[in-house]
Amino acid sequence: HYPFLRSHPDHDLARRQLRNGDGVLSLSVKGGFEPCCRVHDALRIVARASSLGGVESLASIPVISSHRNASPAELEAQGIDRGLLRVSVGLEDPDDLLADLEQALERA
């Protein structure tokens, strides 16, 4: 779900509108909501949050935070599945963040 990946359908648009990318990424955890919650709860460096904004890395699950009042049709139209996890990358060491995400994903 990251438009700066060349394989993303909106890659060219993102390159035109955003200069150097973005620190927010989304990933769909295989298996849906329950595994997504396990990943979210297993993060150690990335803090759980309902809002993505700050210097620290934060994660949220849209279906229980920003999009909790959206209908299933609205979620589908916006490409938000029940396993979607959004991560706002902060100023922590990139290797530490990757290790944190990897250990959390292993728990899914």
Task: Give per-residue pLDDT as tens, 42-68.
Answer: 999 998 877 767 789 999 999 998 899
Task: Supply the pLDDT for residue 24.
Answer: 77
- Convert the pLDDT of each residue in 9-31 to its tens digit: 988 898 888 877 777 788 899 99
Phi, psi of 48 (to 5 degrees): -80, 135
Neighbours of 101 (CB within 10 A): 21
As a whole number of angstroms, the distance between CA 89 and CA 108 comes to: 21
